[in-house]
Amino acid sequence: MESSAAEQPAPDTVVVLPRLPERCPNCGGSISQSTVEWVGPTTVRCPYCDTPISLKFERMT
């Protein structure tokens, strides 16, 4: 079976995934996608202290 180019990124492609931190950097409250308010495409608001939190971007190797 032949592999499609769409299945695998090119060798020089960098794949970056957005990640929410597990805890709020301000109050230490637990953060999850279901408990936060999204206030922008890469920003959420802590449900405990209302601090805006930016997503972290993790490079995949």
Taking alpha carbons only, the member of 55, 44, 59, 49 closest to residue 19 is 55
Chain-centroid distance, C-alpha 54: 8
How confident is the chain (61 residues) per 10-residue block, as mean pLDDT?
A: 60 84 95 91 94 90 67
Taking alpha carbons only, the member of 32, 30, 22, 24 closest to residue 50 is 24
Q: What pLDDT does residue 5 have?
A: 53
Question: pTM to 2 decimals?
Answer: 0.67
What residue type is assigned to position 55 of the chain?
L
Give the C-alpha separation, 3 to 13, whole Å: 17
